[in-house]
Amino acid sequence: MARIHKHRKGRSGSTKPFRQAVPKWQPLQGREVETQVVGLAKEGKSTAVIGAYMRDQFGVPDVRLATGKTVLEILQENKVDPRLPEEIANLLRRVVSLQSHLAENPKDLSNKRSLSLVESKIRRLAKYYVSEGRLPGDWRYSSETAKLLLE
């Protein structure tokens, strides 16, 4: 499949090992994994960070395999899910840093282009998340409110 903003093809990425059962060496059971995930979310960690933390600190190779639910599903069940989808929040952080950079360096044309590409990606993702119901129907991106949305 081709890249969005480049005129070249992408490379295939790595794949997770195929597993159907929880490994015998996994120290935590499903309920314990869920409580740890909720605790980490209350500390303010994102879903990707929670998954990596569970893997590295607790020896849980796959939260979905251990509990039958994804990290986001666990957070939604316990009503601690993030206000914005993680993908959009990360892109908004990038927009804020690019805007501060361009305020100091207004002639940096490559980063101006980068900013417009990131903003267009946010708009495409927002349309998707509105249709999925993860964002309110009246949600609109604007560059002025990007800082406010992250707080």
Record the pTM.
0.81
Average pLDDT, the chain: 89
| Alpha carbon distances (Å) from 44 to 28, 63, 71, 94, 146 | 22, 18, 14, 19, 19
As a whole number of angstroms, the distance between CA 81 and CA 2 comes to: 32
Give per-residue pLDDT as tens, 12-45: 777 777 888 888 888 888 899 999 999 999 998 9
- Do residues 34 and 66 touch, judged by C-beta distance below 8 A? no
Q: Which token pair is 57?
A: 């600190």
Region 86-150: CATH code: 1.10.287.10
Each domain of the chain, given as residue ranges in start order, spans 30-77, 86-150
As a whole number of angstroms, the distance between CA 88 and CA 123 comes to: 9
